[in-house]
Amino acid sequence: SQKIEQNSEALNIQEGKTATLTCNYTNYSPAYLQWYRQDPGRGPVFLLLIRENEKEKRKERLKVTFDTTLKQSLFHITASQPADSATYLCALGGANNLFFGTGTRLTVIP
């Protein structure tokens, strides 16, 4: 079965810096990959989707890359702010469902 690893459980960075989160996967070839944000006590919220034939996708301060050869996606938040502190989940796209990683908890320190 598919295995999804997100680089670390927790990541602390200084405000204004770029946060980079990693999602690695094995035993699967997703047609697309999604990133979600989850705040404490809430459900995940969709941020970005990138398809297998796309190398990079941007949305405001967010950037996602997708390397199907390395089986890896990188999620970047530029000019990070304390409000970006949350858990970020990557999810591999199935036929009509998603397989989620365990998430990386990001803390942006003022």
Distance from C-alpha of 33 to C-alpha of 45, rounded to nearest angstrom: 14
Q: What is the DSSP letter of 82?
A: G
Single-letter residue type at 89: L
Q: Does 31 bind other proteins (CB under 8 A)?
A: yes
Q: What token pair was written down for 42?
A: 């809430």
User: Least distance to other proteins from the beta carbon of 51, Å?
Assistant: 7
Judge contact between 25 and 3, C-beta under 8 A.
yes
Q: Which is nearer to other proteins, 6 or 80 (CB)?
A: 6
Q: Which stretch, 14-22, 28-36, 61-69, 70-78, contacts other proteins (CB under 8 A)? A: 28-36
Q: Which stretch, 21-29, 35-43, 56-64, 69-77, contacts other proteins (CB under 8 A)? A: 35-43
Neighbours of 42 (CB within 10 A): 9
Residues forming the site for other proteins (CB under 8 A): 31-32, 34, 41-46, 49, 51, 89, 93, 95-103
